[in-house]
Amino acid sequence: MKIRSVGIIANSRKESAAQDSCRLGEWLEKRGISVYFDSEIAVKAGYGPGVSKQELPKVSDMIVTFGGDGTLLMAARCTRGYNIPVLGVNLGTFGFMTVVNLNEMFDAMELILKGQFSTSRRMMLEASVDGKNMSALNDVVINKGNPSRMVDLETFVDDRYLTTYKADGLIISTPTGSTAYSLSAGGPIVFPELDSMIINPICPHTLTNRPIMIPADSTVRVVLLTHEEDAVVSMDGQDSFVLKPGDAVTIRKSKDSINLFVSPNRDYLEVLRSKLGWGGIL
């Protein structure tokens, strides 16, 4: 794969995002690479009107994100279906998917332009409810609206009854998302290239309700039984909508996936050790 054009998406709330984006843009243009900035950061960086995030995948051979995992998650949903790889440059303090640090950016890009790179394919989820369809790279989360009450979530796997969770909520996660909210809720760490889903209750009333891994080709259906106001289903903690009592959320593996560039400097196990502070101090 030869890279001729690069789309740049950045978290404009990060203080250095505009400057760092410009540095990469200028570096790429000197090497004959066409550069397209997403509209938000283009205005802030003085690069004209830019291109909308939805249009960037149509004109780019790859996407570079500046920010944290949240920025990359947003880019993943914009690029799904286009089969172009995404490189995450970390401007934050913690990130499992933004595997290239700022001081490694040019070296990593040099290797990519030479074709000396590898990518990791990551499965995505698709959630549907009441005729609305949304996608997620990390997780689909159903949260209670009232902080003082639990919700009852009747859960089926391939139309077979699993259980009715009485809990603060429920996380349905991909392997990529296993190190996100699901990990905080006591879920397992799963190698990101595996095809599977994790069903993980949030603070369940029944302590024997434990996280469960299921095959990726399963279909999960969760019905909100509680007459709960403002219960919400959210995708990657970014896109969300309110549920009504009786609503059923259906989650399945998306037909689309995303390819993330692998760090040339460290493998996944090293990322785990450094991010989670295994054998050392965080």
φ/ψ of 268, rounded to 5, equals: -60, -35
Q: What are phi and psi of 79, to 5 degrees?
A: -95, -5
Per-residue pLDDT reduced to its tens digit, 216-265? 999 999 999 988 677 999 999 998 989 999 999 999 999 999 999 998 88
Q: Which residues are CB-neighbours of 193 under 8 A, at least 6 positions away?
A: 120, 121, 122, 175
Band of pLDDT at residue 280, cut at 50, 70 and 90 = low
Q: Per residue in 20-35, is it b (16+ CB within 10 Å) or e — as a string?
A: bbbebbeebeeeebeb
**pLDDT value at position 29?**
95
Q: Examine the residue annotation and report whether 20 is marked as an active-site residue of this protein.
A: no
**Is pLDDT above 60 for 153?**
yes
61 vs 80, more confident: 61
Residue ranges of domains in the chain: 5-118+262-276, 123-257
Catalytic residue among 20, 38, 61, 69: 69
The pTM of the full predicted model, rounded to 2 decimals, is 0.91
Q: What is the rounded average pLDDT of the residues 197-201? A: 98
- The span from the CA of 44 to the CA of 50, in Å, is 10
pLDDT > 90: percent of the chain = 71
DSSP of 27-84 = HHHTTT-EEEEBHHHHHHHTSTT-B-TTTHHHH-SEEEEEESHHHHHHHHHHHTTS--
- Residue 211 is classified by DSSP as -
pLDDT of residue 96: 84
How confident is the model over 100-146, as pLDDT tens digits? Answer: 999 999 999 999 999 999 999 999 999 999 888 999 999 999 998 77
DSSP 8-state assignment for residue 14: S
pLDDT at 94: 67
Secondary-structure class of domain 5-118+262-276 per CATH: alpha beta
* Protein fold of 123-257: Tumour Suppressor Smad4 (2.60.200)
Tokens of residue 5, six digits: 């054009």
Enumerate the β-bridge partners of residue 45: none
Q: Helix, strand or coil for residue 13?
A: coil
